[in-house]
Amino acid sequence: MSFRGIGFGDMLNAAAQAEIEAWTPNHSTVIECESCETKFYYHDLIKEDKVPTVLCECESLKIRPIPASAAKYEDFIGVEWDGEYPKIYEISYEEYLKNKQ
């Protein structure tokens, strides 16, 4: 026998429980400099409390935090470049984990 609550309070409890449950991503975003082929992975950038400011090896690609005023997160990830556009693409999360080992 299972218990099912009713009402708006039960919906809030279910939503809170869903946020607690572990979520495993399917993909990871890669930002790659065309000039020096330095790769930055989204999951590495968001491990910190704030998005770090990072430069590629040739310093033509810069990733930095952009303040997000009316959002759940403090910052957006800003991508700036000089010269060639960076490659931005998705890889599977399993491939990301293999690359990090």
At residue 37 the predicted structure's pLDDT band, cuts being 50, 70 and 90, is: very high
5 pLDDT higher than 60: no
pLDDT tens by residue, 52-95: 889 999 999 999 888 887 667 777 888 999 988 999 999 999 99
Dist CA 91 CA 25 (whole Å): 11
Burial class (CB in 10 A: 0-12, 13-18, 19+), 69: exposed
- One DSSP character per residue, 38-96 reads -EEEHHHHTSSSSPPPEE-TTS-EEEEEEE-TTSSSSEEEEEEESSSPPEEEEEEHHHH
40 pLDDT higher than 90: yes
Q: Is 0.75 surpassed by the pTM of this model?
A: no
